[in-house]
């Protein structure tokens, strides 16, 4: 029985890497399967003036938001059609894993250049600038993030010991205007995300006090 042709296509989540200066897309990583759950936690950035009553309601900036998800990567279907999926036959899911892992790596060329500069007696070497990473989860959630934790559990292997099935856990910290230049591409993308939250809150509207058992505020 075929599926209904008019059913909407489910979007995929993923990560996009941008040049931090120009905003040019360098790489797009589409998750093979959307994770079943996405966990978000928000820690408020409250003012901490001890004993200052005027500080109790002040916010120093946007909350620190952490996103956690677990994604599955599986080469089984590709291995059924080896002629169409030669990389899966040769490497299993290592290319997909490497695409995620290398977000945490400085470019090898940068490491080589730094080694050359150090050997030449350069006193100060500027740390490598990583691409700007965006977490994309639908059109309303395109947000700059830093990958703070990556773990992978490889669950099955082919005869050459290439992993063919794995679960990847990602922990992402949202980068706000406290972390990024307000006028940069990352700062602009964060503000779009921030303003989208406000519009969604307005769409929810306001409840009524009587639903809380109150006729008014005492």
State residue 6's pLDDT score. 61
How much of the chain, in percent, has pLDDT values that exceed 90? Answer: 61
How many CB atoms neighbour CB 186 within 10 A?
23
Distance CA 184, CA 51 (A): 37
Q: Does the pLDDT of residue 8 top 80, yes or no?
A: no
State residue 156's pLDDT score. 94
Q: Which residue has the higher pLDDT, 125 or 170?
A: 170
Q: Does the pLDDT of residue 3 top 60, yes or no?
A: no
Burial of 198 (0-12, 13-18, 19+ CB in 10 A): exposed
Note every long-range contact of 90-99, with CB atoms under 8 Å and residues 24 or more positions apart, other chains counting.
90/162, 91/162, 92/157, 92/158, 92/160, 92/162, 92/163, 92/164, 93/162, 93/163, 93/164, 93/165, 93/166, 94/162, 94/163, 96/32, 97/73, 97/152, 97/163, 97/166, 97/168, 99/27, 99/29
Instruction: Give 1's pLDDT tier (boundaries 50, 70, 90).
Output: very low
Task: Give SS3 for 22.
Answer: coil
Which tens digit of pLDDT belongs to each residue from 99-151?
999 999 988 888 888 888 888 887 677 787 899 999 999 998 999 999 999 99
Q: Does the pLDDT of residue 48 top 80, yes or no?
A: no
Indicate the average pLDDT of the chain.
89
Q: Name which of 13-17, 87-91, 97-101 the model is least confident about.
A: 87-91
State residue 148's pLDDT score. 96
Mean pLDDT (whole number) for 170-178: 97
Written as six digits, the tokens of 153 are 């559990």
Which tens digit of pLDDT belongs to each residue from 188-198?
999 999 999 99
State residue 173's pLDDT score. 98
How much of the chain, in percent, has pLDDT values that exceed 70? Answer: 93
Instruction: Give 5's pLDDT tier (boundaries 50, 70, 90).
Output: low
State residue 7's pLDDT score. 62
Written as six digits, the tokens of 104 are 């945490």
Q: Does the pLDDT of residue 60 top 90, yes or no?
A: no
């Amino acid at each position: 029985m075929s599926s209904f042709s008019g059913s909407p296509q489910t979007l995929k989540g993923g990560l996009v890497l941008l040049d931090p200066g120009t905003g040019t897309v360098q790489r797009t990583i589409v998750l093979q399967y959307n994770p079943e759950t996405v966990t978000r936690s928000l820690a408020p950035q409250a003012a901490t003036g001890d004993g200052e009553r005027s500080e109790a309601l002040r916010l120093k900036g946007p909350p620190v938001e952490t996103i956690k998800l677990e994604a599955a990567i599986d080469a089984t279907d590709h291995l059924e059609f080896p002629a169409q999926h030669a990389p899966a036959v040769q490497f299993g899911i290592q290319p997909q894993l490497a695409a995620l892992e290398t977000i945490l790596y400085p470019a090898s060329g940068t490491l080589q250049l730094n080694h050359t500069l150090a050997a030449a007696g350069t006193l100060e070497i500027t740390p490598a600038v990583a691409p700007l990473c965006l977490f994309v989860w639908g059109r309303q959630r395109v947000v700059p993030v830093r990958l703070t934790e990556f773990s992978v559990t490889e669950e099955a292997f082919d005869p050459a010991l290439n992993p063919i099935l794995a679960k990847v856990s990602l922990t992402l910290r949202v980068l706000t205007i406290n972390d990024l230049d307000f006028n940069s591409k990352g700062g602009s993308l964060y503000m779009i995300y921030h303003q989208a939250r406000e519009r969604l809150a307005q769409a929810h509207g306001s409840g009524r006090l009587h639903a809380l058992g109150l006729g008014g505020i005492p």
